[in-house]
Every structure is written in structure tokens, then in C-alpha cells.
Amino acid sequence: MGYTMAEKILAAHCGRDYVKPGQYINVDVDFIVGNEAPSVMTIREFYNLKCDRVFNNERIAIVPDHVAPNKDVAAAEICKTVREFAYRYNITNYFEVGRMGISHVIVPEKGLVGAGDVVIGADSHTCTYGALGAFATGMGATDMLCAMVLGEIWMKVPETMKIVYHGKLPKGIVGKDLILFTIGKIGIEGARYKAIEFTGEALDDLSMDSRFTMANMTVEAGAKCGMFVPDEKTIEYMDERCVRPYKIYKPDDDAVYEQVLEFDVSNLEPQVALPHLPENVKPIGEVRKDRIHLDQVFIGSCTNGRMEDLRIAADILRGRSVSSRTRLIVIPGSQEIYLSAVKEGIITALVEAGAAVSTPTCGACVGTHMGVLAEGEVCASTTNRNFEGRMGHKDSRVYLVGPAVAAASAILGYLAAPEEVI
């Protein structure tokens, strides 16, 4: 009997030849990620317990990205606390405003994680790094504390679900469409506490940016993590960036899966998740006829704030204008992406079209700043969640889309398909 990727990585990190789903194990952690919101809770308990060291100051990243740049005095105090902790314990990978980005964008961008790693973070979208073939999962602030001090954490070995995508993706279909389609099929609890392996020939041409998007949103299906088997594209990405050696684990041919799902995505349309759940998914063809007016369009977040997303949006917006009754907010996922977008002329195209472009932050996605919605307002967003009140007032509505639908919708002022403007 063979083993899945998740089982192989976890076995290697707990000193066993193999592990089985349902086992409780102590796992050595390669890297820990925290943003300022949960990190401040971790740090306060660190001091309360009179801890005096971290297990490895080079294996921890602290990134102020949710309420930074400081949105108010309370945010300033939170960021001050994590900043002083990072300086006191010489956290090598502390990323200050101006040198930062959204944590789940800059951690792989800086080469801090790689294939075969076990990564935990006090943020649910830590699963993003599964795109590299890592076992990456979100945990609570107290779990982060234990890992920061001990360098290990306990967990239950998850079952693994395998999802196979057949066919060749239609032009313009990206990772956001695939993962929304998948969540629409299996539901927000369809992969609860499971590892997901994404595979199939339809993924061969998928960019790394799109793979990060898919891994990022596996938690929206309840998954423990979402993983891609590293291929040449992954290896090239890691070889350009990784600061530590990585190790590729591949599932055995006779690995045992809790479930195997297969989808033919040859004719997939751009997908939209309607309020108020990521599983409430329909193809844009079914939604566009309703001409749903949009007060705001947001392009950014750890889900879709990467170069691919900005290029797609800029290609559609270039030479066109945002609707006079709709505001378009664009936030690159990192300073590196921002600078690359400036050099490519992407920022110029976006600003000339009428977009407001800002420094990297999670603010709009989590409804704290830089794009908060008022009562009754409707937003098309490239983020990962559309729960009630997620981006602002509890009576606002959020439609989850990919960057192409977002850009086309900003131009027309209602939820639209890209072909309506191209």
C-alpha cells in the first residue's frame, strides 16, 4: 500500500517510516508565518509564559499586512508590539511597511518555503504554499506560539482527496475559475480536514500564480491543505528563489485516497461565487444577464494580487475607463509586484482607466480599510471570501470573481463577462 504526498511529508517530519490518516503526531516545523493580528496574541502569551527564545529566528516570518499601513491608533499599537518583538528576538524575516507585502504572497516570493516543507501559520490561508508541494496549513495563535518556541506542533494526519482535471483549459480561464468551480461542486465542507492533491493534464499549462490561487482557496472547501505535485515549472520557480534546500515528494501510484474526483474542464467558463458563500458558484454566463450593479470592484489580496492578475486586468482596462458609478481599487500583493507592474506600464494603464492603486495590504479583503463597503453596497472582488460583513457592512454583498471578470465589470459597472468589453 502506497502513500499520498501529505502522508509522506508528515512521516518525514515526525521520524516515522509512514503515518496513517487519523493518527496524532508531533511534527517538526520548517517555517512559521504570522501577520500582525494573530501574532500580537501569540506575543502576549509568549511574554505571559515567560518564554525567552524562539526555536529559530530565521524560520519565522512576521508580516504586518491586515491593518498596515496603520489604519488607526489601535492598529498602530498592534504593529508596534510585533515590531518590537521582531527586533528583540532578531526575527530575520520581519517585513516592515515599504519592504513588505501580503504574507502569503511574499513568503514564496522571497523563497522562504519550498517543496517538502511543513509550514504553519496563524492565518487560514497559509495553505497557499501547497502550490510548491509543501504541507502548509493554518492554525491558531497558541499553536503558533508552541511552534515558535519548540519548533514542532501536534496534528492529526488528514485523509487525502485527489482531484483530477481533464482536458485543455479554454483561453482566459485561470486558477480562480478552477477553484471556484471546484468549491461549487464539493461545497464549503466537502474537504473538511482533508489534504487535497490537485492533478490532471488540464493543470499542465497553469501558471505558478494560478496554482497559488488554487492552493490558497482550498481552506474555503474546509481543507487542511491543498497541494500540487512539483513539476518543471515549480522547480524553476523554486530554483530562482529558495534560500534553503527543498525536497520533492510525489504520491505513490497505489496511494490510498479518501475520494477521487474527476472533472473535464475543457469548456469551463469564468466562474462567480454569489453572496454569501464561496460554494454558491455559477458560470458568468448565468449571472451576466441580471446586470447586477456594482458600487465597487476590488482586485488584489493573497488570492489574486499577483503579476498574472494585474496583467490580465490591465490588458482589459488599457484604453478603456472605469464606469463613472463604480470605483475600482487595485492592490498589488507585494512591493516587488508593485514595482514590476510600474516597470511594465501596468500601473499607468490602471490609473489612466480610473483605478485607485495602493500599497500592499489585506485591508479591503478583511474589511478593515482601503475599500470597506457601506450598507447595501455591492462589490465584485478577487478575494477568497464573501461571507456576510466580510468586506464591511453586514448588509453589503460580495461576488467572488477572477481578474478578467473584475476588470470587465469595472468598465461596465455591472457584473459582466470579459467578452462584453473585449
pLDDT digits (tens, 9 = 90+) for 267-292: 999 999 999 999 999 999 999 989 99
Calculated CA dihedral for residues 104, 378, 219, 111, nearest 10 degrees: -10
What does the pLDDT read at residue 100?
86
Q: Parallel, antiparallel, or unpaired for β 135-138 and 225-228?
A: unpaired
User: Does this chain's domain 5-263 share its CATH topology with 273-416?
Assistant: yes
Which helix (H) or strand (E) segment is 47 a member of?
helix 36-48
> Strand, coil or helix: what is 305?
coil
- Tell me the CA distances in angstroms from 307 to 170, 319, 336, one per residue in order: 20, 19, 10
> What residue spans define the domains of the chain?
5-263, 273-416
Amino acid identity, residue 279?
E
How far apart are alpha carbons 1 and 367 in whole angstroms?
A: 47
- Angle at Cα 91 formed by Cα 90 and Cα 95, nearest 5°? 125
What does the pLDDT read at residue 385?
93
**Distance linking the first and last C-alpha atoms of the chain:** 51
What does the pLDDT read at residue 185?
97
Residue with cell 492592490: 331
How far apart are alpha carbons 181 and 175 in whole angstroms?
A: 10
What does the pLDDT read at residue 256?
95
| DSSP-assigned beta bridge partners for residue 259 | 161
What does the pLDDT read at residue 36?
85
pTM of the model: 0.95
How far apart are alpha carbons 11 and 396 in whole angstroms?
A: 45
Count of helices and strands (H, E) across the chain = 14, 18
How far apart are alpha carbons 334 and 266 in whole angstroms?
A: 32
Calculated CA dihedral for residues 412, 413, 417, 418, nearest 10 degrees: 50
Residue with cell 481578474: 403
Positions in the chain whose pLDDT score sits under 70: none
The CATH number fitting domain 5-263, selected from 2.60.120.590, 3.30.310.50, 3.30.499.10, 3.60.20.30: 3.30.499.10
- Tell me the CA distances in angstroms from 344 to 109, 261, 357, 360, one per residue in order: 18, 40, 15, 18
Burial class (CB in 10 A: 0-12, 13-18, 19+), 17: exposed
Residue with cell 496524532: 24
How far apart are alpha carbons 32 and 86 in whole angstroms?
A: 13
Sheet containing strand 194-199, edge to edge, reads 225-228, 194-199, 159-166, 259-264
Residues 6+ apart with CB under 8 A from 416: 284, 288, 405, 408, 409
Give residue 172's region: left, alpha or beta (phi > 0; psi -120 to 50). Answer: left
Q: Which of 356, 89, 108 is nearest to 208 (CA)?
A: 108
What does the pLDDT read at residue 283?
97
What does the pLDDT read at residue 274?
97
Grid cell locating 169: 483549459
Residues 6+ apart with CB under 8 A from 86: 62, 94
How far apart are alpha carbons 411 and 232 in whole angstroms?
A: 37
- Angle at Cα 129 formed by Cα 126 and Cα 130, nearest 5°? 110
Q: What is the CATH number of domain 273-416?
A: 3.30.499.10
Residues 6+ apart with CB under 8 A from 239: none
